[in-house]
Amino acid sequence: MNKMKAILFDLDGTLLEMQTEPFVMQYLKELGKYVAPRFEAEQIIPLIWDATKAMIMSEEPDKTNEQVFIERFLAKSGLAHSAIWPVFDAFYRDVFPTLSHLAYPSPWAEKIVGAAKSHGYRVAVATNPVFPREAIHHRLAWIGLKPEQFELVTVYEESHYTKPNPRYFLEICTSLGVAPNECIMVGNHMQEDMVAGTLGMKTFHVTDYAEDRGEPVYPVDQSGTIEELYQAIHTRSGIFAL
């Protein structure tokens, strides 16, 4: 019997081949341009960073990331929800999808998810839930994937923690009904993804778009390119043989 029951896949820099920092910079630039006719972008963008940090630091199990973000943003900006949120919603609906040129779609994501499911793994998208559902679903579409292909896709409307908080990964386990030691976390970020190993998860570090802030350092069970990840899952080798 396969001990490992679920594979949790990071999105940005892992299944979705891209450099995260340039993407975020361009995304915020476009958002700033979009809000500029109605609001001061020079004020809005720092407030978004501030509210995002509040989400990352939050330890409130009764508040979703969305609730933390909205409360912080509105408190700091002094704006009414009815004034600014329809603008944000329209941006994610109409402009965010046009940022697909900042990513490098390849066939590997579909192959990897298909191979995992063919071997009986339960699959989840463990992307840092600091984006609204619509933005995350758009990014999945860029690599030919749909939310329905996964048992869970973490989004800020539903999640209560973010990476690198271990509680983020525990919440996924609770949602899936599995133990951490029955999961494999696949990601490109040494701190945000490989921290899952502290809970007993096996970890696979994808190296194509690897990110590493230097500290803290976590052990990695297996590493390789996205193509080598596919081969490991397809051939049931390394940690995927467990």
CATH number assigned to the domain comprising residue 193: 3.40.50.1000
What string of DSSP letters covers 5-62?
-EEEE-TBTTTB-S-HHHHHHHHHHHHHHHHTTTS-HHHHHHHHHHHHHHHHH---TT
How far apart, in whole angstroms, are the C-alpha atoms of residue 141 and residue 135?
Answer: 10
Are 49 and 155 in a shared domain? no
User: Which run of H or E residues covers position 121?
Assistant: none
The whole-number pLDDT of residue 179 equals 98
User: How many domains does the structure of the chain reveal?
Assistant: 2
Residue 1, in any domain of the structure: no
Positions in the chain whose pLDDT score sits under 70: 1-2
- pLDDT value of position 2: 58
For residues 193 and 212, state if they share a domain. Answer: yes
| Residues linked to residue 223 through DSSP beta bridges, in sequence order | 205
pLDDT, tens only, 92-137: 999 999 999 999 989 999 999 999 999 999 999 999 999 999 999 9
Does pTM surpass 0.95? yes
Q: What is the pLDDT of residues 26-51, one digit of tens each?
A: 999 999 999 998 898 899 999 999 99
pLDDT reported for residue 241: 96
Q: Do residues 126 and 187 make contact, with C-beta atoms less than 8 angstroms apart?
A: yes
For 156, the domain range is: 6-19+103-241
pLDDT of residue 37: 86
111 & 61 share domain? no
**Is residue 73 located within the same domain as residue 123?**
no
- The whole-number pLDDT of residue 1 equals 45
